[in-house]
Amino acid sequence: MMPPQLKTLLLDARLPRLEVRMLLEHVLGKPRAWLLAHDTDPLAPEVAAAYESLAQRRLSGEPMAYLVGHREFMGHRFRVTPDVLIPRPDTEVLVETALECLADLAAPAVLDLGTGSGAIAISIALARRDARVMASDVSAAALAVAAANAWDLAASVRLVEGSWYEAVPAGEGFDLIVSNPPYVASDDPHLDQGDVRFEPRGALTDGAGGLEDLARIVLGAGRHLKRGGALWMEHGWDQAQAVRDLLAQAGFDAVHSRRDLAGIERISGG
Ligand code: GLN
């Protein structure tokens, strides 16, 4: 009998082909092109075992990003662990809007609240090397992931530990505040479906109706925004009007929303 070849794993029909290749890239530490060029190589038993254990975890629903330990966002590779939300392509509209807000400002000051993996803050810092970027999170474990990402990507971001504005020094003013806070209602069935089940609850839901943290961020912004400064937040598909109302009540003008890649009003600001 022929010894098993790498090919036998590449043809694993239990998972989508892209996922099989991503898991094998991770197990072997080789790029995809290498895998395909070496598909007749003999398969080491420890490789087969490591692959099988990841495949089993994937089959029981664990997100790919946690299995391979990274996810692309704004063209950068971010490390992720189960301590942080996995960056979503929909959130790129928040970064793009942030960069537009900053376009005419020299050396702008930016604050990202609830930074998680640091994807938003670091993407801004990389696109605007002159910016002074601060990012807060209540989770020390999340901040460790953000710090690793800032280091890997050579981004300069000041990380502070605390809930929303708690760790932001009094009197510190920003040209722009951004946040992708938890905004899913605690009774939303979405929390029990798919990848989301494995993500930190505290990054997804405010434990109430979904607007509590958004409201806290809006109410605290006044003390930390420079004159003419802006606040932009991500929110749920059905929260745009409610968030615009929160902003308007807090005295923001030119309040509006923007759509994500799926055409859903995903961020609001003013
Ligand atoms: N958009 C995410 C989801 O629906 C939630 C992200 C968040 O709560 N900030 O899974």
Task: Give the model confidence (pLDDT) of 239-269 as tens digits.
Answer: 999 999 999 999 999 999 999 989 999 999 9
Rounded distance from Cα 86 to ligand 1 centre (Å): 9
CB 91 within 8 A of CB 148: no
In this structure, the answer to whether residues 94 and 19 fall within a common structural domain is: no
Considering the chain, what is the average pLDDT of its residues?
Answer: 97
In this structure, the answer to whether residues 257 and 138 fall within a common structural domain is: yes
In the chain, what percentage of residues exceed pLDDT 90? 98
DSSP three-state, residue 78: strand
In this structure, the answer to whether residues 125 and 43 fall within a common structural domain is: no
In this structure, the answer to whether residues 185 and 102 fall within a common structural domain is: yes
The domain that contains 252 carries what CATH number?
3.40.50.150
Q: What does pTM read for this prediction?
A: 0.96
In a domain, 123, yes or no: yes
Mutate to test the pocket of ligand 1, among 113, 164, 180 (most ligand atoms within 8 A of CB): 180
Rounded distance from Cα 92 to ligand 1 centre (Å): 13
- In the numeric block, the tokens 């968030």 are attached to 243
In this structure, the answer to whether residues 161 and 208 fall within a common structural domain is: yes
Instruction: For 145-176, write each residue's pLDDT tens digit.
Output: 999 999 999 999 999 999 999 999 999 999 99
Rounded distance from Cα 131 to ligand 1 centre (Å): 27
In a domain, 147, yes or no: yes
**β-bridge mates for residue 135, sequence order:** 112, 159
In a domain, 23, yes or no: yes
Cα–Cα distance, 160 to 138 (Å, whole number):
9
Structure tokens at 138: 């209540």
Instruction: For 94-153, write each residue's pLDDT tens digit.
Output: 999 999 999 999 999 999 999 999 999 999 999 999 999 999 999 999 999 999 999 999
Residue 50: per-residue pLDDT: 98
In this structure, the answer to whether residues 147 and 203 fall within a common structural domain is: yes
Could you report the predicted ipTM of this complex, rounded to two decimals?
Answer: 0.93
Which residues have C-beta atoms less than 6 Å from ligand 1? 88, 180, 182-184, 190, 196, 204, 234
In this structure, the answer to whether residues 89 and 55 fall within a common structural domain is: no
**Residue 205 structural domain:** 84-269
**What domain count does the chain have?**
2
Rounded distance from Cα 65 to ligand 1 centre (Å): 15
